[in-house]
Amino acid sequence: MLGSAAVLATIRAVEAVGYTFLMSEQALVGAARDPSGAAVRQTARVWSETLCRRAGVVVEVQGGEQVDWSRPMLVMANHQSLLDIPVIFRALPVPFGVLAKKELFALPAFGKAIRALGCVPIDRSDRSAGQESIAHAAERVHAGASLLVFPEGTRSERSGVRELKKGPFYLAEAADVPIVPVGVRGTRAICPKDVFAIRPGRAEVRVGAPIAPLGKGSDARDELRARVRAALVELSGEAARGGR
């Protein structure tokens, strides 16, 4: 039998999911009234702040003074938990579109809402479709948008920053904008992978200095990938590692 703390953690997770779909509907209403996207971004801000507060998640932020948030960029963060997105949205001055797996876009209301926010679907199972997604994402950035990317590809089951996927750095090469590294701490303990629960706790978001584009070609991409991973290791406080 589950203890009272476990039951409450499950209830928080259920409430978070319900609130997310409720706010998705509100985002769609805002998108219909305001094609500029400002209403959707404001809804995303309210969603992240309210979800964290209701779940008992306190978000602390360090850094970001060197970042010009009005300019297009790629924000690259380590990935510990499903809570990383609301925690990062809560921490940063503006919510961004996210490079996200295509399956999320099939969810009723939610899929349309994240598309309205500027999220870009990526197909991890099809290399050609994945390349098209990268090209589409680069076009959005060239048009002035910023994107949040989790270059590890998926959430970590245990501590450590894994090898970063190559795809995000093809995007960085095509977009030719600075990368802002963001280290997330604490969300794995609050909302572990493969456990449907949210526990109250403290999450930290540490924003690093922007990393300028390094040019074209495989050597430049590899060097950029190494620099971003080193920054994520430092900012997240987790060791570099391989595996899942």
Quick one: pLDDT band at residue 244, thresholds 50, 70, 90? low
- What's the whole-model pTM score? 0.93
Name the DSSP letter for residue 104.
G
Any domain includes 242 = no
What does the pLDDT look like over 156-203, one tens digit per residue? 777 889 999 999 999 999 999 999 999 999 999 999 988 899 999 999
Given a contact cutoff of 8 angstroms between Cβ atoms, the answer to whether 59 and 125 are in contact is no
Is 244 within the bounds of a domain?
Answer: no
pLDDT at 173: 95
Q: What is the mean pLDDT of residues 85-97?
A: 94
Q: How confident is the model at residue 239 (pLDDT cuts 50, 70, 90)?
A: confident
Domain annotation covers residue 243: no
Q: Give the mean pLDDT of the chain.
A: 92
* Tokens describing residue 178: 């600075």
The structural domain count of the chain equals: 1
Parent domain of 32: 4-236
Backbone dihedral angles phi then psi of residue 202, each to the nearest 5 degrees? -110, 130
Q: For 207-231, what is each residue's pLDDT tens digit? A: 999 999 999 999 999 999 999 999 9
**What are the phi and psi torsion angles at 79 (to 5°)?**
-125, 110
Alpha carbons 40 and 97: distance in angstroms, whole number: 11
pLDDT > 60? residue 243: no
Res. 2: pLDDT tops 60: no
Query: CA of 170: how far to CAs of 71, 125, 153, in Å?
Result: 20, 17, 14
Question: What's the whole-number mean pLDDT along residues 115-141?
Answer: 87
Q: What pLDDT is stored for residue 210 in this prediction?
A: 97
* CATH number of 83's domain: 3.40.1130.10
Q: Is residue 241 part of a domain?
A: no
Do residues 41 and 148 lie in contact, with contact meaning Cβ atoms separated by under 8 Å? no
- Does residue 35 belong to any structural domain of this protein? yes
Q: In this model, does residue 53 exceed pLDDT 90?
A: yes
The predicted pLDDT at position 129 comes to 76
Question: Would residue 227 count as lying in a domain?
Answer: yes
d(CA 175, CA 144): 10
Element containing residue 59 per DSSP (H, E): strand 57-63
- pLDDT > 90? residue 27: yes
Query: Is 10 part of a structural domain of the chain?
Result: yes
